[in-house]
Structure 1
């Protein structure tokens, strides 16, 4: 197993070690099935889920395809590191059979029995710790689900019917346009202010912690519409989203699935690739698109599928220039600048524990996510944008441990021992500039369609632009599949039109 240059781990004995071991690193980093001067049918930029699925679909349907990736590994913002026999999901993590596009991939590659469950019951500290200002209370997980579901339902029930008519089909983009336009102008803070008198102080803490965990910023920066969409995706119930989206993950890790998709594409004999290759410029001229890397390498193709994240789109030069609405959208970007941190505590006591707080001291939520092979409690913790008042940077181990300790029951804070920290600073990562997509106010109705629109022979397929599970792994697979199909159909039409004139 080879270390990626991304991420770091810390232990009390070894300190900080940069880079994390993962099966996702591709060695050697480049392979070509044809001369560099030849014209590909398609070039796919980015090897996250969207790019991998698009490249696979193109290559297996006979298209000479080049996959270009800035990193040294597969996966983009979703990948896992394996340390001492345990898989740490550094980016996107949870998958479920109610996520139709990613489940298709899981079952296709024989991983349908490869599940592990987050938040298992039965450990010594089997409860949720809620901290509200200077008050703290341990509640049962049944109460955690009850209060969490209750406040989420009050928050999202903007139409009096839990969106069952307003947003009955969660993958639709053209339903209830007046409803969408109205609530797109509201921030999560605006909505919380509307309902605050219906909540106790503790309930408000639970709600705000859940929201910050979702959107990775202060709630005044977070658009309400994404929260409503996630509620609808959770089957219009207060607890549905957590049951689907924070419950199960692949035991063998997301990078295993990446490897299987990548291997399938390679087996077609139609895939070339170049890793460690950041793209600088995309030029569409005379029906052929030229991609120029930072190191000066150039490739040509009939079509390009660009899967880079929304917050990274503006770093690539386009000629002809992108339309004004695409530029405006890329400049405004996603607000999600969440910190996601893995923390292992000595012993099995915290397998079942969870915590919620706002504003916290750098982290707002944590929960047990299985035991390591050494028998230690593995926790996943989330905190807001480091630039917010309650945020922290990830360059201070003391800051991380203090933030995690603050979430613990006060009487336990001096008893626990941190044995390992694993994380990656997505906000300082030039190829991510944030975590999963969460949009600001007045963005979806203004810009989403523009982001999905092709630009000549350049197509866009980031999971940040998808419908349905936008910002989730399923959304990336969804749009990668859709756009690859669009490219294939467009090229068929072009070939047919040429033949008809011969």
Structure 2
């Protein structure tokens, strides 16, 4: 079964914390589908100084874009990635006779950083219109499937979403300058669920509004911060059409790895995969990085482009600020599952939803469909759900469509990956105000995770925003020096 490719992260809930970074890496090296790794030239230790000008830790969108910027500025740069592949929380892997995205994949022209990269490298985009224009909509109510009258229900849900975010322009008059206005402070303690409760929605509308916001945050609505979702809405011009298109419609034809490889090639960046970092020590003349295998490298600057939830796994000397350590230990709330399934029959363009009381699925829809069957993409909040067990997934989907038969299922359990410890970032209510502190450099260590982006936090665009801005800041400082 295709699921065998990712059995290294298929665990029971009680076993979640037993997967060590080293154990994961050994198994990943043996079983994970590796992306291409391009190794450029390194000048090495020239003149007895540090080995490099810049060491970048983390090979996702943030790390790769940061390394490109510093390398193209003429700085000796090396990118260290713990896994045996590049991409971070993106992962383009084979499923049957085609490839699918197991991690982040959607992008939109109102996301300026990633759209600039798409244009720079002339990458092709594909459209999945079924996600925003289904023929059937089935949702769970009291544990039972209900066939929606789309023409009646959607306008009500659409109005509820608009009302939910009705203050977006006042709170974020300049969406890409988050703290321009102080209006956000009056909402900083609200959870996503708190705001839903304020609307007094009819039950069928409430179920689906909860389903939409829970999957956008990839967390139960009582956990994620309301301001996180309000900012998304404001970033997209405060309308549901652009919101739907950005969240579930456009992706790269040749996968996210096509952008990763384009940036690596452009910077001719030296890359070292299968190299998890253990210790980061600031010294008088720079920073020393020690890998888990004992190897040490030195540089004038280090960029941490790893996910926020993993920062506490590094040994920092001196220790990071209390805010950074506390927030990383507490974690953001983004966590759950994503899986692709192939059905034996043609379901057409179908949309499935459930509120956050049903963990395995909150949001599912057709990616492709034909006489040979339908490929569905499904998202849920249960990070321990066995996405590669055909019987388990089939039983779950039969809650919506009785007698449904599956041909295959394929997913990746990011919560068990010690180098991600979750999916995309949604901050808790009280964490929103901490972004300036989380972004702040500490000595010669800079931070560039998508999880602390100003604009599209948790998205690929946010990773590129942080990578490019951090890389350029360091390049300006070091080249001038």
Tell me by how many angstroms 1:6 deviates: 5.3
Counterparts of 1:317 and 1:376, CA distance in 2: 50
Q: Summarize the alignment of residues 196-345 of structure 1 with structure 2, pairs less than 5 Å apart.
A: 197=200, 199-266=201-268, 271-345=269-343
Q: Which moved more, 1:133-142 or 1:281-290?
A: 133-142
Q: Summarize the alignment of residues 141-152 of structure 1 with structure 2, pairs less than 5 Å apart.
A: 141=150, 143=152, 145-152=154-161
CA contact (8 A) 2:354 2:362 kept: yes
Counterparts of 2:373 and 2:206, CA distance in 1: 32
Tell me by how many angstroms 1:174 deviates: 2.0
Q: Summarize the alignment of residues 7-26 of structure 1 with structure 2, pairs less than 5 Å apart.
A: 19=31, 21=33, 24-26=35-37
Tell me by how many angstroms 1:114 deviates: 3.3
- Return the TM-score normalized by structure 2: 0.88
- Would the alpha carbon gap of residues 360 and 239 (structure 1) be closer, same or farther in structure 2, given more than 3 Å must change? farther
Counterpart among 480, 487, 492 of residue 474 in structure 2: 487
Partner of residue 174, structure 1: 179
After superposition, give the CA deviation of every residue in 1:14-69 in whole Å (9 maximum; x if it has no partner). xxx994545x2438x89755259852111111110011111111111211100000
Counterparts of 2:364 and 2:175, CA distance in 1: 28
Partner of residue 183, structure 1: 187
Counterparts of 2:436 and 2:97, CA distance in 1: 43
Tell me by how many angstroms 1:442 deviates: 1.0
Does 2:410 match 1:422?
yes
After superposition, give the CA deviation of every residue in 1:329-360 in whole Å (9 maximum; x if it has no partner). 1122211112111111124x234101111223
Q: Summarize the alignment of residues 38-53 of structure 1 with structure 2, pairs less than 5 Å apart.
A: 38-53=50-65
After superposition, give the CA deviation of every residue in 1:394-413 in whole Å (9 maximum; x if it has no partner). 475433222222233xxxx2
Partner of residue 464, structure 1: 451
Counterpart among 124, 146, 159 of residue 137 in structure 1: 146
After superposition, give the CA deviation of every residue in 1:82-132 in whole Å (9 maximum; x if it has no partner). 234322100001111221110111111111x4323242699xx82111221
- Would the alpha carbon gap of residues 486 and 30 (structure 1) be closer, same or farther in structure 2, given more than 3 Å must change? closer
Q: How many correspondences in the alignment?
A: 458
Counterparts of 1:257 and 1:392, CA distance in 2: 30
**More helix per residue: 1 or 2?**
2
After superposition, give the CA deviation of every residue in 1:295-343 in whole Å (9 maximum; x if it has no partner). 0011111111110101111100111111111111112221111211111
- Would the alpha carbon gap of residues 4 and 249 (structure 1) be closer, same or farther in structure 2, given more than 3 Å must change? farther
Tell me by how many angstroms 1:382 deviates: 1.0
Partner of residue 86, structure 1: 98
Does 2:128 match 1:117?
yes
After superposition, give the CA deviation of every residue in 1:367-396 in whole Å (9 maximum; x if it has no partner). 011248x9431111111144xxxx735475
Partner of residue 19, structure 2: none
Counterpart among 165, 168, 189 of residue 170 in structure 2: 165
**Aligned-pair Cα RMSD in Å:** 2.7
CA contact (8 A) 1:351 1:378 kept: no
- Would the alpha carbon gap of residues 303 and 141 (structure 1) be closer, same or farther in structure 2, given more than 3 Å must change? farther
Tell me by how many angstroms 1:238 deviates: 3.4
- Return the TM-score normalized by structure 1: 0.85
After superposition, give the CA deviation of every residue in 1:219-252 in whole Å (9 maximum; x if it has no partner). 1111111111112123112343112221111121
Does 2:399 match 1:406?
yes
CA contact (8 A) 1:148 1:239 kept: no
Runs of at least 5 residues in structure 1 that lack an aligned partner in the other structure: 11-16, 496-502
Does 2:381 match 1:384?
yes
What secondary structure does 2:170 align onto? coil
CA contact (8 A) 1:461 1:480 kept: yes
Tell me by how many angstroms 1:138 deviates: 2.2
Tell me by how many angstroms 1:259 deviates: 1.4
Counterparts of 2:131 and 2:428, CA distance in 1: 34
Counterparts of 2:247 and 2:170, CA distance in 1: 23
Q: Which moved more, 1:141-150 or 1:377-386?
A: 141-150
After superposition, give the CA deviation of every residue in 1:125-149 in whole Å (9 maximum; x if it has no partner). 8211122115543235555642332
- Would the alpha carbon gap of residues 336 and 467 (structure 1) be closer, same or farther in structure 2, given more than 3 Å must change? same
